[in-house]
């Protein structure tokens, strides 16, 4: 069970969220946030929705997100965009980067980022971020799924070679609430003092595939290039036949 009092006691700013809603079970925290947003009578500008059992979690595109009840971090939060229009794509770099930093502080391990916003360790997926927007004010609905205390047998057999958890890496369970609170503490610092150059430098430092071959889709064709960097607008820079291509879509590490 998610202990809200423990979570709030680890937040630097107890008023970062206007409302924190806990549901023992829900289909999708991201969908639930939009439902609350659309219901103007319940609308809040800073809202966190957390569940211990997400039954139909969503990833990017048509991807699904598996989580084991009571062992994952599965939440979505609604906040205002905190970046200028030409920096908007950087939201997708900032959130996974801050998750990586929070994991480092709690579990003392160095995990990495796979473009654009997956958390990985040893080639296996540890977590992911889903960012959606709505409205002229660009409200951000940010979903976080992170494998924390799962054991290998908790995952479906088809994920044994693809997924891992913090517990599997370090060998013992950890409290989810302080980990999530540290992430939001880091996010609040970024909102107060945003430094684009530092964010990009840190993201590149934690990227799992700088200068590695990746496949990606260009004009309906799957091609292979070397992942080089990200630019100041949050786009991937891929070297394809000695031409640097700006790219926003999915990649596969080869």
Among residues 202, 177, 237, the alpha carbon closest in space to that of 98 is found at 202
Number of domains in the chain: 2
Q: Scanning the structure block, which residue is given the tokens 């709505």?
A: 134
- Is the domain of 65 the same as that of 158? yes
Q: Is the pLDDT of residue 221 over 70?
A: yes
The domain spanning residue 71 has which CATH number? 3.30.930.10
Q: Range of 220's domain?
A: 213-253
What pLDDT digit, counting tens, does each position of 18-65 carry?
999 999 999 999 999 999 988 865 666 789 999 999 998 886 666 778
Instruction: Work out the pLDDT band at 14, boundaries 50, 70, 90.
Output: confident
- Is the domain of 164 the same as that of 246? no
Query: What sign has the CA pseudo-torsion 171, 169, 162, 91?
Result: positive
Q: Is the pLDDT of residue 220 over 90?
A: no
With a pLDDT cut of 90, the percent of the chain lying above it is 81
- Is the domain of 114 the same as that of 236? no
Pairing of strands 251-253, 243-247: unpaired
pLDDT of residue 223: 92
- Is the domain of 173 the same as that of 75? yes
pLDDT of residue 86: 87
- Is the domain of 140 the same as that of 40? yes
Out of 8-17, 95-104, 130-139, which region has the weakest mean confidence (pLDDT)? 130-139
Q: Is the pLDDT of residue 141 over 90?
A: yes
- Is the domain of 18 the same as that of 87? yes
Out of 25-39, 142-156, 166-180, which region has the weakest mean confidence (pLDDT)? 25-39
Give CB contacts under 8 A, 24+ apart, made by 243-248. 245/218, 247/216, 247/218, 248/89, 248/116
pLDDT of residue 208: 97
Q: Is the pLDDT of residue 179 over 90?
A: yes
- Is the domain of 31 the same as that of 61? yes
- Is the domain of 218 the same as that of 116? no
Phi, psi of 213 (to 5 degrees): -75, 135
- Is the domain of 138 the same as that of 182? yes
Q: Is the pLDDT of residue 181 over 80?
A: yes
d(Cα 183, Cα 145) in Å, to the nearest integer?
13
- Is the domain of 249 the same as that of 167? no
- Is the domain of 40 the same as that of 20? yes
Average pLDDT of the chain? 93
pLDDT of residue 130: 94
- Is the domain of 115 the same as that of 169? yes
How crowded is the C-beta side of 233, counted as CA atoms within 13 Å? 8
The pTM of this model reads 0.94
């Amino acid at each position: 069970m998610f202990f809200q009092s423990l979570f709030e006691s680890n937040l630097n700013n107890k008023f970062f969220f206007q409302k924190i809603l806990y549901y023992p079970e829900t289909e999708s925290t991201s969908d639930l946030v939009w439902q609350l947003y659309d219901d103007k009578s319940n609308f809040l500008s800073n809202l966190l929705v957390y569940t211990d059992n997400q039954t139909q979690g969503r990833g990017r595109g048509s991807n699904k997100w598996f989580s084991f009840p009571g062992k994952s971090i599965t939440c979505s939060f609604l906040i205002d965009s905190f970046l200028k229009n030409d920096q908007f794509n950087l939201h997708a770099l900032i959130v996974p980067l801050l998750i990586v930093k929070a994991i480092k502080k709690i579990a003392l391990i160095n995990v990495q980022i796979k473009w654009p916003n997956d958390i990985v360790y040893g080639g296996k997926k540890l977590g992911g971020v889903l960012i959606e927007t709505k409205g002229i004010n660009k409200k951000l609905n940010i979903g976080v799924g992170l494998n924390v205390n799962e054991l290998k047998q908790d995952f479906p057999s088809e994920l044994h070679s693809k997924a891992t958890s913090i517990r599997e890496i370090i060998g013992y369970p950890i409290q989810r609430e302080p980990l999530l609170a540290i992430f939001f503490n880091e996010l609040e610092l970024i909102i107060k003092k945003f430094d684009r150059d530092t964010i990009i430098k840190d993201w590149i430092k934690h990227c799992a595939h700088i200068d590695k071959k990746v496949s990606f889709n260009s004009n309906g064709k799957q091609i292979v290039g070397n992942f080089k960097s990200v630019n100041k607008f949050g786009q991937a820079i891929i070297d394809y036949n000695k031409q640097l291509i700006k790219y926003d879509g999915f990649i596969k590490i080869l």
